[in-house]
Amino acid sequence: MRLTEVNYSDAQPVDGYGPGFFRIGGVVRHGPVLTGAAGTAAWAGYEDASPLLALSGQVDVLFIGTGAEVAHIPSALRDALEGQGIGVEVMNSPSACRTYNVLLSEGRRIALAALPV
């Protein structure tokens, strides 16, 4: 079997997560996070739409992790993101992290906004 090194470009993969935290690019971050090619930062949750909207033109899809369970995001947030041309995929945070990592390794234009489990 041949092993191929994965190149994540400028973005960092999600290395792990647990109660209240994410480990992204080897750094532990407590609370909700936003990560992608522009870097990783704290995110204040669904009411904090401005950093998500700032991704317009930079990403094709934003994965939103809703915590331990899949949940609906506020319709106003979804409408604002889609109105800016950002595709939105909502899933529980573990699934969002895994999907983000796979598509990141493929060089896709994506970002992840996730609430901790």
What does pTM read for this prediction?
0.91
Both tokens assigned to 114: 């996730």
Helix (H) / strand (E) element for 104: namely helix 93-105
Domains of the chain from N-terminus onward: 14-115 (3.40.1230.10)
- pLDDT at position 97: 98
Q: Is residue 1's pLDDT more than 80?
A: no
Instruction: Report yes or no: 51 and 44 within 8 Å, Cβ to Cβ.
Output: no
Average pLDDT, the chain: 94
Instruction: Report yes or no: 67 and 92 within 8 Å, Cβ to Cβ.
Output: yes
Both tokens assigned to 14: 């999600």
Q: Distance (Å, rounded) from C-alpha 58 to C-alpha 80?
A: 16
Reported as a pLDDT band with limits 50, 70 and 90, residue 10 is confident
Both tokens assigned to 5: 């090194």
Give per-residue pLDDT as tens, 14-62. Answer: 999 999 999 999 999 999 999 999 999 999 999 999 999 999 999 999 9
- In the block, tokens 């690019």 appear at 25
